[in-house]
Amino acid sequence: MDGTRRRLVVVGNGMVAAAFLEELVAGSDGFEVTVFGAEPHPAYDRIKLSSVLAGQCEPESLTMLDEDWYAAHGVTLRAGREVVAIDRERRMVRDCTGAETPYDVCVLATGSDPVVPPMDGTHRGGVHTFRTLRDVDDIIEAGQTSSSSVVIGGGLLGLEAAYGLRRRGVEVSVVHLMDRLMERQLDAVGARVLRGELERMGMRVVMPAETASILGNGRVEAIALRDGRVLDADLVVVACGIRPAAG
């Protein structure tokens, strides 16, 4: 280490980390910077995952900072290296390989993880969340052979997943807990108009409906609703919100 520079460790390499790093290198060279990302890629624009799923852009176009950028700015990128512990006494982070990296300043930019409601069957093959490039790759691949899919969650993210699948020609049912779609953003009239548009695109909207369990033998074959209905599905996307990944 250069004895005059303080060591800065950034945990998380998402959109916020990318914006932070760009500002940091523009304003100061007083830090020796190491950034850890649990995902195996340089920072990318997560918002555009919906466009990738809908076939409107390529995954490569999402890159916010490419590997050359990190190298050019002297930032050490540890991609695919989740930080599993922070020892604040010793000022040290430990990553998933067991390696320890010392810091003077540690910035947490760990974002959020998808919420998967507690119910039977979420471990089955064909059940996906919608948060990462990996998720989108998996959903696209599953969609190629899917005859019927279910998206659990009729909020913004769920509807974007449903739209993407529909554009790929997959049969989609959206199962929503509430009695109107996107209830946080829309009033009853707006939600009714939206539902009509989705149905015109060929989506089925099932609500209010609570998913009780995900059925199947190894892979998902159907979902069971609390009211007793069963919907066939060989692909399920769970889009039930997010929680901070601060654990």
Ligand X SMILES: Cc1cc2nc3c(=O)[nH]c(=O)nc-3n(C[C@H](O)[C@H](O)[C@H](O)COP(=O)(O)OP(=O)(O)OC[C@H]3O[C@@H](n4cnc5c(N)ncnc54)[C@H](O)[C@@H]3O)c2cc1C
Q: Which residues form the interface with ligand X (CB under 6 A)?
A: 11-17, 36-39, 46-47, 49-50, 82-83, 109-112, 130-131, 157, 160, 245
Please tell me the distance from the alpha carbon of residue 142 to that of residue 110, in angstroms, as a whole number. 28
CB nearer to ligand X: give 41 or 231: 41
CB nearer to ligand X: give 11 or 175: 11
3-state secondary structure at position 150: strand
Which stretch of DSSP H or E encloses residue 163? helix 156-167
CB nearer to ligand X: give 145 or 185: 185
Residues in CB range of 71: below 8 A, 6 or more apart: none
Q: Give me the least distance between CB of 204 and ligand X, in Å please.
A: 21
CB nearer to ligand X: give 206 or 242: 242
Which stretch of DSSP H or E encloses residue 192? helix 188-200
Q: Give me the least distance between CB of 16 and ligand X, in Å please.
A: 3
Q: Give me the least distance between CB of 246 and ligand X, in Å please.
A: 8
Q: Which residue's CB comes closest to ligand X?
A: 14
Q: Give me the least distance between CB of 147 and ligand X, in Å please.
A: 24
Q: Give me the least distance between CB of 45 and ligand X, in Å please.
A: 8
CB nearer to ligand X: give 106 or 222: 106
**213 neighbors 120 (Cβ within 8 angstroms):** yes
Q: How big is the chain, counted in residues?
A: 247
Residues in CB range of 210: below 8 A, 6 or more apart: 177, 225, 226, 227
CB nearer to ligand X: give 112 or 213: 112
Please tell me the distance from the alpha carbon of residue 11 to that of residue 94, in angstroms, as a whole number. 11
To the nearest 10 degrees (0 to 180), the angle between helices 156-167 and 188-200 is 20
Q: Give me the least distance between CB of 183 and ligand X, in Å please.
A: 17
Q: Give me the least distance between CB of 12 and ligand X, in Å please.
A: 3
CB nearer to ligand X: give 17 or 150: 17
**CA distance from start to end of the chain:** 30
Which stretch of DSSP H or E encloses residue 166? helix 156-167
Largest Cα–Cα distance of the chain, in whole Å? 67
